[in-house]
Amino acid sequence: MTALRLALVGCGFIGRRHLENVRALEGVELAATVDVREEAAAACAREFGARYHTTDTARVFGDPRVDAVIICTYHDTHAGLACEAAAAGKHILLEKPMALQVGECRRIARAAAAAGIVLALDFKFRFAPAVQKVREHVGRPVVMHSQLAMEPMLEGIWVRDPVRGGGLILATACHALDMACWLNASEPVRVYAESVPATPADGCNVTAVTATVRFASGSIASLLMAEAGENGYVGKWLHEVFDGRRTAVLYDHFRQVRFSGVEPDHYVAPDPTRADGTLGVLEDFVSSIREKRPPAIGARDGVRATLLATRILESLQTGRPEEVSLDDLD
């Protein structure tokens, strides 16, 4: 089997997490590491055995010895870097969110389609074994509760920046939004949201947001997204799913699930390296390239998450429910 040659663009925490998984896969080589901070790129190259490191993305995108790139940079750079990589014929695994604006998401999707490359999104929790158990055992949901409850982010952190990061809803809660859509197996059609403070100036200074989402299937989901403290019992993430006969509660960073109406009623992910789904996303990305098939989590999923986050922020401003047109996803 010919080795698939990957390059990492963005050598922060998430990038290093991906490289740990690259090292665990057979038939995958790390060709290069890229970062605006040369010392970070060099450190990753040394630790994970890349052929070279650089601060110049053009060098990697123009390198015929690189087949694919993993992009883990500031969110406002996703569109430009992904479009450049696609134009160079590189397959792309893109960190969430796909981009901070729906128009940028669509631009990435068009570039990938025109180039005929694989574009995968890292909504990793879909590959968490406990989450997949819920999708397997609980039928079409009637109602769902989705929760992201985290400690307050540090002042000045880039994720809060409206230009670079996008704030709580666009940057972090997009995971919860994707999960709600995927577990419902349906598209969102309407959303209504309120927040603390009640009239935020932008989406980056909200402390807490509650939202109700109506799906095309007729089901509803309540969402709580807040940086007001973490629940010490269930952890940062919590999803409750009810289908009228069976229920599931996902917790402990989606490592565990409790069922009712399903036997056994408790499942714990047996392999810590696979528990959060990051390895599964990478495996699917690699196999989709080799098998010349679409990835499990693709461009439409990335557009949908940013679109839904955007509609939530619009509802905060208007004080009204906002429609989520399915046509906006295509």
**Edge-to-edge order in the sheet of strand 119-121:** 52-54, 28-34, 4-9, 68-71, 91-94, 119-121
CA–CA dist 240, 227 (Å, integer) = 20
CB atoms within 10 A of CB 239: 26
Q: What is the dihedral of CA 152, 155, 156, 158, to 10 degrees?
A: -10
CA–CA dist 327, 308 (Å, integer) = 13
User: pLDDT value at position 286?
Assistant: 97
User: pLDDT value at position 162?
Assistant: 87
User: pLDDT value at position 53?
Assistant: 98
> What is the residue-wise DSSP string for 177-215?
HHHHHHHHTS-EEEEEEEEESSS-SSTTS-SEEEEEEEE
Residue written as token pair 């993993």: 70
User: pLDDT value at position 160?
Assistant: 86
Using the Cα atoms of residue 61, residue 65, residue 69 and residue 72 in order, give the sign of their dihedral.
Answer: negative
pLDDT per residue, tens digit, the chain (330 aa), is 689 999 999 999 999 999 999 999 999 999 999 999 999 999 999 999 999 999 999 999 999 999 999 999 999 999 999 999 999 999 999 999 999 999 999 999 999 999 999 999 999 999 999 999 999 999 889 999 999 999 998 888 998 888 899 989 999 889 999 999 999 989 999 999 999 988 777 667 789 999 999 999 999 999 999 999 999 999 999 999 999 999 999 999 999 999 999 999 999 999 999 999 999 999 999 999 999 999 999 999 999 999 999 999 999 999 999 999 877 665
User: pLDDT value at position 321?
Assistant: 97
Q: Which residue, among 57, 23, 53, has the nearest Cα to 40 in the 3D structure?
A: 53
Domains of the chain: 4-122+278-297 (3.40.50.720), 125-276+306-329 (3.30.360.10)
CA–CA dist 157, 203 (Å, integer) = 15
Please report how the helices 78-87 and 102-115 are oriented relative to each other, as an axis angle in degrees rounded to 10.
10
User: pLDDT value at position 328?
Assistant: 63
CB atoms within 10 A of CB 183: 24
User: pLDDT value at position 330?
Assistant: 59
